[in-house]
Structure 1
Amino acid sequence: MPLHVSPAPAPAVHTVLTALGSPTALSEVPTPALRNAEAPATPELPLPVHVLDRITAEGVTATRLAGWRFLIRCGERAVAAAETTLTPDGWAFAHFFEGPYVTSTELALRQAETVPQPYQPRLLSLPSLYMLTLWLHGDCTADPGAGHPAPGDLLIPLAPAPPGIAAHRPYRVADLLPILTSRATPSRLLRPTA
């Protein structure tokens, strides 16, 4: 089933296109694959990046939109990613990067295309566990910048995943959340707010 990729905010797209068009920005990036690319670089597959700030003892999650990430394609493959962030003045280009999460994101998206149910793809970052997942949200009409993982949503951990959690294995949120909750250290495990 095709994924329902949401369009990124136009100002976020503009900041990435401006950075890609800037010889100065490209000459200073720490991404040799992008800096040395011979084919034109184009931003594709915008994904909202949500951060899981806390997991309570009861398994309740609180997420926030941190930015939008674009895979940067040169020719037939993604060679880097670009990230934007929301500032008080609007969307701003944050940085280019390369590494395992770029290829892992591409692989997880291809994997998600084979799932029979339609999903809205997002990224979910869990900084306390040094973990990034492809979050397949079941409501394709939802605002991509809002919400939290629903029990029936799928999470596909990207490689490298924390020890004991299989990368590229789809987990229902209801199944993975208890594992994540048990992995969080007591200082990171928060009590619910009233």
Structure 2
Amino acid sequence: MPLRMSPAPASALRSVLAALGSAVTEEIPGDPRPDTPLPIHEISRIGQRSGPPSTQLTGWRFLLHDGGGGRPRTVVGAAEAVRTPSGWSFARLHSGPYVSSTAHALEQATALPLPYQPRLLSIPELYMLTLWLHGDADAEPETGVPAASDLLVPLAPAPPGIAAHQTQRVDALLPRLTHRLTASPLLGDTAVV
């Protein structure tokens, strides 16, 4: 089933296009073009007893494709825009392992039988990034929290003990992540590490 991509804010795309037109892209080969906009949500309150986790939209990441000169389209990097007081602004380029891992996870997701809205979910406390497949494919991309039946695909490199590219329901993976953040054999059962 095809994924339902959300359109990024026009100012986020403009800021990325402006950066790609400057000398900023020396580290990205070819003629990169932004495609595949993914809203980035950061999860908080995971592992805390103060209520369920919440998410906040922190940016938009565009996969950069190079398909010029008759070559097949390939992912060569990613560009990110973040919200500032004056609107969306270009923040950074990415060329590390999360870029190819994101492209691979998106390919995996297209084989699923139900439609999903792809998002990225960042879990800073674990230095972890996942592809979040939101079950409400028509939802506003800026809002929402992971529902129990939503799917998460941990991107590589994943933290030790978490299998990259193994699609899991939120209600199966989130408790494992919560346990990692709350269990510490040296400090007792509720210390945040």
Match of 2:143 in 1: 146
Q: CA separation in 1, counterparts of 2:113 and 2:79?
A: 29
| TM-score normalized by the length of structure 1 | 0.89
Q: How much does 1:74 deviate? A: 1.1
| CA RMSD across the alignment | 1.5
Identity %: 56
Question: Structure 1's 7 and 166: CA in aligned 2 closer, same or farther, altered over 3 A?
Answer: same
Pick aligned residue for 1:173 from 170, 173, 193: 170
- 2:45–2:51 Cα contact (<8 Å) kept: no
Equivalent residue letter for 1:155: L
Flag structure 1 segments of 5+ consecutive residues without an equivalent.
190-194
Equivalent residue letter for 2:7: P
Match of 1:26 in 2: 25
Q: How much does 1:54 deviate? A: 1.7
Q: CA separation in 1, counterparts of 2:87 and 2:77?
A: 24
Of the structure 1 ranges 69-78 and 117-126, higher mean CA displacement relative to structure 2 is found in 69-78
Pick aligned residue for 1:119 from 94, 97, 116: 116
Q: CA separation in 2, counterparts of 1:138 and 1:59?
A: 22
| TM-score normalized by the length of structure 2 | 0.89
- 1:83–1:96 Cα contact (<8 Å) kept: yes
Q: How much does 1:58 deviate? A: 7.7
Matched, 1:70 2:62: yes
Matched, 1:44 2:35: yes
**What do the CA deviations read for 1:123-181 (whole angstroms, capped 9, x no partner)?**
00000011000000000111101111000000000000011111000110011111011
Equivalent residue letter for 2:33: T
Q: CA separation in 2, counterparts of 1:113 and 1:58?
A: 36
Equivalent residue letter for 1:184: L
Equivalent residue letter for 2:5: V
Equivalent residue letter for 1:103: S
- 1:67–1:86 Cα contact (<8 Å) kept: yes
Q: How much does 1:59 deviate? A: 7.1
Q: CA separation in 1, counterparts of 2:180 and 2:74?
A: 35
